[in-house]
Amino acid sequence: MRVEIYVEGPSDKLAMEALLKTLIDHKLQHGINIRFFPVKGKNNDKGGDAKKDLLTKIPTKAVDIIRDKPDSIKRPF
């Protein structure tokens, strides 16, 4: 099983991985892979408003991925 969690930026990704390391490692031993993905790129290089994208664009993208629409991964935020 895969759990993909979108967060605002790279620092949020690192913080969540650090805070939840024990849980992530435990779940991985049980076949559950938990990963965090920042909406913004390194040094916020994607531009735009990450908070707004996280609430408006990312949920739609996530639903498309769940529905297995092949173009959803290529589509920019």
- What's the pTM value of the predicted model, to 2 decimals? 0.69
Q: How confident is the model at residue 60 (pLDDT cuts 50, 70, 90)?
A: confident
The confidence score (pLDDT) of residue 43 equals 54
The pLDDT tens digits of the residues spanning 4-43 come to 898 988 999 999 999 999 999 999 999 999 999 888 765 5
Which helix H or strand E contains 4, and what residues bound it? strand 2-7
Per-residue HEC secondary structure of 5-44 comes to: EEECCHHHHHHHHHHCHHHHHHHHHCCCEEEEEECCCHHH
CB 58, CB 48: distance < 8 Å: no
Domain ranges in the chain are 2-72
